[in-house]
Structure 1
Amino acid sequence: MQQGKLLGFIGVVSTLLQGGWVRRVKGRSEHRDRGLVATGMVACALGLLCVALCCTTPSAPGASPPLLLWAGALGFAVASATVVNCLNSIVSLVCSRADTGSRLGDFRSSGQIGRALGPVFACSVYWLLGPSTCYFFGAAALAAVSAAFVAIVPATPVVGASPKKSQ
């Protein structure tokens, strides 16, 4: 029942954020999609860190999940609301019209490979080194990926916006 509550919380918060916040923020500035993706990635890294910290403090069997676990779930909900749909938008904006479908297909295929291999790797780390090590490693890796994303991926221009005039 506790797992259902946490998963329900993630789903409801993610839905509210995507429909209420992301929908309104996208397209407001030149950095819209990149900023939302970076926000989601950092939120997910913080969520993993919260879960890792939660793993280091034992709780009584049957006790309600600690606040850190709920904070981690909130980080996962923010990531769920922002990352994938904004990454799809970035990929489609940086492609030419002729190869948009091919690039999006390649991008989605890469994501599927990650979703297939990631759990195998994470489960191996979890069972070999323990849950706190696994989640700490995930948080550190995601923080590094977030920093690389911000450093490498250019801001996407607002579609339909007039270019800035130099004065």
Structure 2
Amino acid sequence: MEYTLTFLTHDKFDFSNAQQGKLLGFIGIVSTVIQGGYVRRVKSRSGSRDKALVAQGMAGCALGLLSIAICAFKAEATGYSAPSWWLWAGSFGFAQGMAPKDTGKRLGDFRSAGQIGRALGPMLRAAVCYLIGAIAVAAITTVFVSTIPSTITRGAAKAKTS
């Protein structure tokens, strides 16, 4: 996302390097605050809420992709070159989606999927890529939430069996 977003903002909104840096900096700061503030506190307070945190991150990512797609479609339809609040909302969603990824395997899988997107993305319009991504992540989130059981901490599992 970080790679294609810079092309989208340059092509659709004529963003300078400084403006792109501000947008990516915003994503990084929000992701850090969510990871260091929200995710850490929720996990330590309630034992293990892995499923809820992953679902929240996936939903944030889907909404982020959809927001960016709306912003890009709006720019294409109107020819208006100033980004709307959808761009910043989408960036917030991306940041939320990236924050819970805390292990090497997850990060590797995430980056591998990104490589596929960067390889296939230029074949389609940017807005279409973000819309397809939003639909795919929303579908995966729905399957995840409906089929994966919530995790139980070891202490809670022992207490139930005692």
Q: How far apart, in 1, do the equivalents of 2:133 and 2:127 lie?
A: 10
2:98 alignment partner in structure 1: 80
Q: CA RMSD in A?
A: 2.4
CA displacement 1:69-103 (0-9 Å, x = unmatched)? 00000001111112x22xx4xxxxxxxxxxxxxxx
Aligned residue type for 1:153: I
2:5 alignment partner in structure 1: none
Q: Give 1:69's match in structure 2, choosing from 87, 95, 113.
A: 87
Maintained 8 Å contact 1:41/1:143: yes
Aligned residue type for 2:37: G
CA displacement 1:32-57 (0-9 Å, x = unmatched)? 11111100111111011111110122
Q: How far apart, in 1, do the equivalents of 2:107 and 2:30 lie?
A: 24
Q: How far apart, in 2, do the equivalents of 1:46 and 1:72 lie?
A: 7
Q: Give 2:156's match in structure 1, choosing from 124, 137, 161.
A: 161
1:40-51 counterparts in 2 under 5 A? 40-51=57-68
Distance 1:70 1:150, change over 3 A: same
1:100 alignment partner in structure 2: none
Q: What secondary structure sits across from 1:161 in the alignment?
A: helix
Q: Give 2:136's match in structure 1, choosing from 136, 141, 148.
A: 141
Aligned sequence identity (%): 45
Q: What secondary structure sits across from 1:57 in the alignment?
A: helix
| Equivalent residues, number | 141
Deviation of the 1:155 alpha carbon: 1.4
Q: How far apart, in 2, do the equivalents of 1:33 and 1:69 lie?
A: 28
Distance 1:131 1:115, change over 3 A: closer
Distance 1:115 1:49, change over 3 A: closer
Q: Which runs of 5+ in 2 are unaligned?
A: 1-17
1:120 alignment partner in structure 2: 119
1:1-40 counterparts in 2 under 5 A? 1-29=18-46, 32-40=49-57
Q: How far apart, in 2, do the equivalents of 1:27 and 1:161 lie?
A: 14
Deviation of the 1:119 alpha carbon: 1.9
Q: What secondary structure sits across from 2:139 in the alignment?
A: helix
Structure 1 or 2: more helix by fraction: 2
Q: What secondary structure sits across from 2:156 in the alignment?
A: coil
Aligned residue type for 1:33: D
Q: Which runs of 5+ in 1 are unaligned?
A: 89-103
Q: How far apart, in 1, do the equivalents of 2:120 and 2:148 lie?
A: 26
Q: How far apart, in 1, do the equivalents of 2:108 and 2:22 lie?
A: 31
